[in-house]
Amino acid sequence: MKVLVIGGGAREHALCRSLSLDPDVTALHCAPGNAGIAEVAQLHPVDAMDGAAVARLATELEARLVVVGPEAPLVAGVADAVRDAGIACFGPSAEAARLEGSKAFAKDVMAAASVPTGRSYVCTTPEEIDKALDAFGAPFVVKDDGLAAGKGVVVTDDIVAAREHALACGRVVIEEFLDGPEVSLFAVTDGRTVLPLRPAQDFKRALDGDEGPNTGGMGAYSPLPWADPKLVDEVLETVLQPTVDELRRRGTPFAGLLYAGLAITGRGVRVIEFNARFGDPETQVVLARLRTPLAGVLLAAAEERLADQPSLVWRDDAAVTVVVASHNYPGTPRTGDPIEGLADVVAQDAPHAYVLHAGTRLADDGSTVLSAGGRVLSVTATGKDLGQARERAYAAVDRIRLDGSQHRTDIAREAAEA
């Protein structure tokens, strides 16, 4: 089948890599892509946010399946435009993607479906904000209601900073602080049947030891040796299935990837957030462990046939991914620097470790790869356990040279030592 992937980050590179290894995929296209995706897919300079242009491209290419990666096009209705053109699309409608696009909407769905989450208030006035901050006390959790590219959430002990962020948001969700390790659990769903993937853990802070500012994610690993083996079943039963059922009941079924961001608190599992797409960088480690060819699963979800899909098959391997970011990320990143050592990783670390590109582009010479964003690339590695996967990932990271770049050195360390 011919497949078109929309987006151009490391998540889309991971998706394209898996799809390119799937014997059922006869042609792979990506728009807009990046310098790494260009090695496995044909790129098209089409704006991911332009639903009509994406649908036109999919029609021209005679794509059997379109996979929309990032949240912004989903919330903007790009999946709807593709489906309206009669082409199967993996990714929720704009209505269903509000689960990620509006924190207040997500809270409303969770309340209706009795899904465990932090208590919260939706506030629009300074009076409501002060009342909510007083009610919960420190640490304060203040979330912009809308999409904010990972910058909408402030967790702080400082009431002045909390109030300032809340006032700047307009509509804001103020929430109880949830203490405990975080888990990302993804599920593929066709709006009725829910197929959970393997859990992963993400590292959100920029610096070692979970210091520094929040980022889009600096690394991830899977499996989670410390997690309760019943976690996935429990989350399926108490979180994923009820949420999918509630959205179907409302007449806006969610078909695509449902991402539950969870806190494992002393009082049980709580949802921190939902996302309407694969997470980055967790996708890199989850897909590295998936043995079942990906295209058939995504197509079955897009065509409401997941109930007939055989169980997913997983490798025993562990996987670790380490993000290499530009100088100054998550502030305004420095870009345009050459990235060296990529060929050394291919020569010395493949197939156990490989590079997935995020913010990269090809220089005019057609061969030099340049940095072009905050998160530049992620190195993903597999191994018999987390320790071996970590060693392989960091060996490959050490071969990559990008002036001023930064990465965390403690991804999966604690879990590997446990």
Binding residues for ligand AMP, per CB under 6 A? Answer: 118, 141, 150, 153, 155, 175, 177-178, 182, 204, 214, 261, 272-273
Number of residues that bind ligand GLY (CB under 6 A): 6
178 binds, among ligand AMP, ligand GLY, none (CB under 5 to 8 A by kind): ligand AMP
Main-chain dihedrals φ then ψ at residue 375, nearest 5 degrees: -85, 115
Q: Minimal distance in Å, beta carbon 217 to ligand GLY?
A: 4
Residue burial 347-359, b: 16+ Cβ < 10 Å; e: rest: eebeebbbbbbbb
* Angle formed at CA 44 by CA 43 and CA 45, multiple of 5 degrees: 125
CB of 144 to ligand AMP, least distance (A): 9
Q: Regarding beta strands 318-325 and 219-222, do their DSSP bridges make them parallel or antiparallel, or are they unpaired?
A: antiparallel
Closest CB 214 distance from ligand AMP, rounded Å: 6
Judged by CB, which is closer to ligand AMP: 69, or 118?
Answer: 118
What's the angle, vertex CA 388, arms to CA 288 and CA 383, rounded to 5? Answer: 30
Only one of the segments 171-179, 277-285, 334-342, 410-418 lies at the binding site for ligand GLY (rule: CB under 6 A); that segment is 277-285
Nearer to ligand AMP, 89 or 106 (CB): 106
Binding residues for ligand GLY restricted to 203-242, rule: CB under 6 A: 217
Nearest CA-CA partner of 286 in 215, 223, 203, 218? 223
Q: Peptide bond before 32: cis, by omega within 30 degrees of 0?
A: yes
336 Cβ partners below 8 Å, 6+ apart?
Answer: 370, 371, 372
Task: Residue 2: name its binding partner from ligand GLY, ligand AMP, none (Cβ under 5 to 8 Å by kind).
Answer: none
68-84 core/surface letters (b: 16 or more CB in 10 A; e: else): bbbbbbbbbbbbbbbbe
Asked if residues 175 and 143 have their Cβ atoms less than 8 Å apart, the reply is: yes
User: Residue 141 binds which one of ligand AMP, ligand GLY, none, with CB within 5 to 8 A depending on kind?
Assistant: ligand AMP
Based on the shown chain and the rule CB under 6 A, indicate whether residue 275 belongs to the binding site for ligand GLY.
yes
CB of 153 to ligand AMP, least distance (A): 4
Which residue from 307, 323, 345, 285 is spatially nearest to 406, judged by alpha carbons?
323
Among the listed ranges 12-20, 50-58, 250-258, 273-281, the one in contact with ligand GLY (CB under 6 A) is 273-281
Residue 217 interaction partner, one of ligand GLY, ligand AMP, none, beta carbon < 5-8 Å per kind: ligand GLY
282 binds, among ligand AMP, ligand GLY, none (CB under 5 to 8 A by kind): ligand GLY
Indicate the DSSP class of residue 17.
Answer: H
Residue whose beta carbon is closest to ligand GLY: 279
| Cβ atoms of 256 and 79 closer than 8 Å | yes
- The verdict on whether omega for the bond into residue 213 sits within 30 degrees of 0, i.e. cis, is no
Q: In the set 22, 175, 280, 349, which binds ligand GLY (CB under 6 A)? A: 280
Task: Pick the piece of the chain touching ligand GLY (CB under 6 A) from 76-84, 279-287, 288-296, 388-396.
Answer: 279-287
| Contact call for residue 202 and ligand GLY (CB under 6 A) | yes
Query: Which of these segments, 175-183, 186-194, 278-286, 296-304, binds ligand GLY (CB under 6 A)?
Result: 278-286
173, 104 contact by CB (below 8 A): yes
Nearest CB to ligand GLY, comparing residues 206 and 299: 206
C-beta of 8 vs 118, nearer to ligand AMP: 118
Element at 11 (helix H, strand E): helix 10-20
- Which residues are paired to 271 by β-bridges? 117, 262
Question: Interface with ligand GLY includes 282 (CB under 6 A)?
Answer: yes
12 binds, among ligand GLY, ligand AMP, none (CB under 5 to 8 A by kind): none
Return the one option of ligand GLY, ligand AMP, none that residue 128 interacts with (CB less than 5 to 8 A, by type): none
Q: Are 335 and 371 in contact (CB under 8 A)?
A: yes
Beta strands 65-68 and 88-90: pairing type? parallel
Name the residues that contact ligand GLY, by CB under 6 A.
Answer: 202, 217, 275, 279-280, 282
